[in-house]
Amino acid sequence: MSNPVNPLLKPAALLYRTVIRMRNLGFEKKLFKTWTAPLPVLSIGNITAGGTGKTPLADWIINYCLSIGCEPALLSRGYGRTTKGVQLVSDGQRILLDSREAGDETAMLAARNPGIIVVVAEKRKEGVKFIMKRFSTRMPSLIILDDAFQHRQLARDLDIVVINAAEPYFNARMLPEGRLREPLGNIRRAGLIVLNKITDKSTADAIACDLRKTGIPVVLAKTEAGELVPFGEEAGERNINRIRAFAFAGIGSPEGFLGSLREKGIQVEAYRFFKDHEPYTSDKLLPILLEAEKKGLSLVTTEKDYFRLLGEHELTATLSVLPCYYLKISTRFIEGEEILASMLNKVISS
């Protein structure tokens, strides 16, 4: 959760901490208003700046809701999108916006779950009101807020916070010195903690022990690599054990992506990382393409990056001169899945 210490960033981190503390105090003293929706609301968020595996968890929760007959609607800010205001991404029958217009994570969740309503809105209250008006004849059973732990203007029935067990926890620092969006102590606002991306059980157990001191239930989970999906005009080698890869990604914790590829038996011979949600351009991707072509490598990226590329048709076409793949991932629970299911059932039944 932190970067190497840079003394120049410490004053900025202290200032940021103060601003966040004053903002949260405003909500606690009811100086800032919180609106309560007429529908059950579930929030899935982070206390750090990305890289926790929140999106696969959101996908698992959506599918769990559908499996018990609950029809959720997903409401996201749509980070990195080119549009503004309230936008309908999917009406549950058609996907109406691409990743440029909806944001890469939102576009990915909409494509994975074509039967649900998906909306993006900076002001979540306005997003809820839009859903209620636009879909008054088939009202969803639940609103799922994506990446909304810090968005306190809208009340929620359950706050789920996802923490990356593979990042430093005990010495985590505030932005911009580290990756914390707010102090770790603020996690006490959560109703459930998911300690995710576990690779070392002993480290995870130490973190979970500290988190349980808050009295908040803790669920243990890991990100599991799934299918390697070919895309583009050149389908490429189907036997993944024979793939020699140039991996690239613009995600919060790219090291986990490399680990997943190696677990699948893929030979990663070169890689390049970009910032989380960083827009792709030909200037950034052409050197990757040329190096991969020279070394006879296939291009492999994440599912989220794949959806970001889908919004840039010329870039996708350029990359497709080589075999291209994206890796699907999912959430697998190590401990406490029944706790999560029970808490979801309680929210839905409310």
Domain 10-222+332-349 carries which CATH code?
3.40.50.300
Predicted confidence (pLDDT) at residue 233 exceeds the cutoff of 60: no
The radius of gyration of the chain's CA atoms, rounded to the nearest angstrom, is 20
The predicted pLDDT at position 236 comes to: 57
pLDDT (tens digit, 9 = 90+) per residue, 26-43?
A: 999 999 999 999 999 999
- Model confidence at 263, pLDDT cuts 50, 70, 90, reads confident
- Give residue 310's pLDDT: 86
Q: Three-state secondary structure along 275-321? A: CCCCCCCHHHHHHHHHHHHHHCCEEEEEHHHHHHHHCCHHHHHHHCC
Q: Who's near 168: CB < 8 A, 6+ residues apart?
A: 1, 2
Distance between CA 170 and CA 176 in Å, rounded? 17
Q: Which two tokens stand for residue 248?
A: 């690239």
Q: What is the pLDDT of residue 347?
A: 97
The 10 Å CB-count burial string (b at 16+, else e) for 8-41 is ebeeebeebbeebeeebeeeeeeeeeeeebebbb
Mean pLDDT score across all residues of the chain: 92
Regarding predicted confidence, which is higher, 75 or 80?
75
pLDDT for the residue 2: 45
pLDDT on residue 51: 85
Mean pLDDT score, 286-295: 95
Query: Are the beta carbons of 276 and 249 closer than 8 angstroms?
Result: no
Percent of the chain's residues with pLDDT above 90: 80
Three-class secondary structure assignment of 157-208: CEEEEEEECCCCCCCCCECCCECECCCHHHHHHCCEEEEECCCCHHHHHHHH
Look at residues 150, 133, 149, 163 and name the one whose alpha carbon lies nearest to residue 51. 163
86 phi and psi, to 5 degrees? -85, 125
| Beta-carbon contacts of residue 65 (< 8 Å; ≥ 6 apart) | 71, 72, 141, 142, 144, 344, 348
Q: Kindly report, residue by residue over 196-217, the tens digit of the pLDDT.
A: 999 999 999 999 999 999 999 9
Structure confidence at residue 319 (pLDDT): 87
Q: What is the pLDDT of residue 239?
A: 61
Reported as a single tens digit per residue, the pLDDT across 48-62 is 988 899 999 999 999
Q: Where are the domains of the chain?
A: 10-222+332-349, 237-322
pTM of the model: 0.92
